Amino acid sequence: MILVTGATGTTGGELVRLLAEAGAPARALVRSPEKAASIQQLGVETAVGDFEQPDTLDAAMAGCDHLFLLSPPSPHQPEQERNAIDAPSGSGSGMWSRCRCWGPALMPRWRSAVGTAR
């Protein structure tokens, strides 16, 4: 089973749709139960969890051997991702993929940081 994080966003939502279309066993991690309805309509299981609350991630990852880790840009992103990877039922015995997306709002700061580092 693949646990898809970021499942209510553009990238994660498309991945969930493609997995459902292919009949692949998948579960979508959502922070809000209200956002789960559109995913459940695809026939994909959902689990409520939050990167900031590591205790919610263990149940979400139970039975999953793959993790697609897509987390929102945040100053706490490394810790949040580590919480997901380190969850006891997580993908420690399986495979995980991480996807980071850079939005226009982050690009100017990123360019400034790169320019400063050179």
CB 52 within 8 A of CB 76: yes
Structurally, the chain folds into a number of domains equal to 1
| Structural domain that includes position 60 | 2-117
Confidence class of residue 109 from pLDDT cuts 50, 70 and 90?
A: very low
Spatial neighbors of 34 by CB under 8 A, at least 6 apart, are none
**CATH (domain of 111):** 3.40.50.720
Task: Give the CA count within 13 Å in the CB-facing half-sphere of 114.
Answer: 6
pTM over 0.95: no
Q: Is 39 exposed, middle or buried (0-12, 13-18, 19+ CB in 10 A)?
A: buried
Each residue of 68-108: pLDDT tens digit? 988 878 888 888 888 888 876 654 546 666 666 555 444 44
